[in-house]
Amino acid sequence: MYQERYQVRLLPRDVTFTTDGEQTVLEAALNAGIAFPNRCQVGACAMCLCRKLSGTIRYDLEPMLTEKEQEEGWIFACQAVAESDLVLALA
């Protein structure tokens, strides 16, 4: 199966890792050995909350974020799947 590869740049540490159109951003970060804050990995604890500065993501399961939070770019890394290169900032 053809898989997309996307670059994810994570601020403020400014580390970069790759992901695909299947795994979550959190899984991709952990697979790359990056210490990305997380606990539940099911969209409940908000430990993985980070801010998307650019790029497109999709959710299989919509996280509990208000419209305003989504507009401000907050995403749940454990639920988000990249659909383009991303720039993210940890809260």
Which residues are near ligand FES by CB under 6 A?
Answer: 38-41, 43-48, 76, 78
Smallest separation (angstroms) from ligand FES to the CB of 39: 5
Nearer to ligand FES, 15 or 46 (CB): 46
Tokens of 36: 């990305």
Nearer to ligand FES, 39 or 58 (CB): 39
Nearest residue to ligand FES, scored by beta-carbon proximity? 78
Nearer to ligand FES, 32 or 46 (CB): 46
Nearer to ligand FES, 15 or 47 (CB): 47
Q: How many helices (H) and strands (E) does the chain have?
A: 2, 7
How far is residue 43's CA from residue 39's CA, in Å, rounded to a whole number? 9
The CA distances from residue 35 to 11, 31, 41, 65, 68, in Å, are 12, 10, 14, 23, 28
User: How does DSSP classify residue 13?
Assistant: T
Smallest separation (angstroms) from ligand FES to the CB of 83: 19
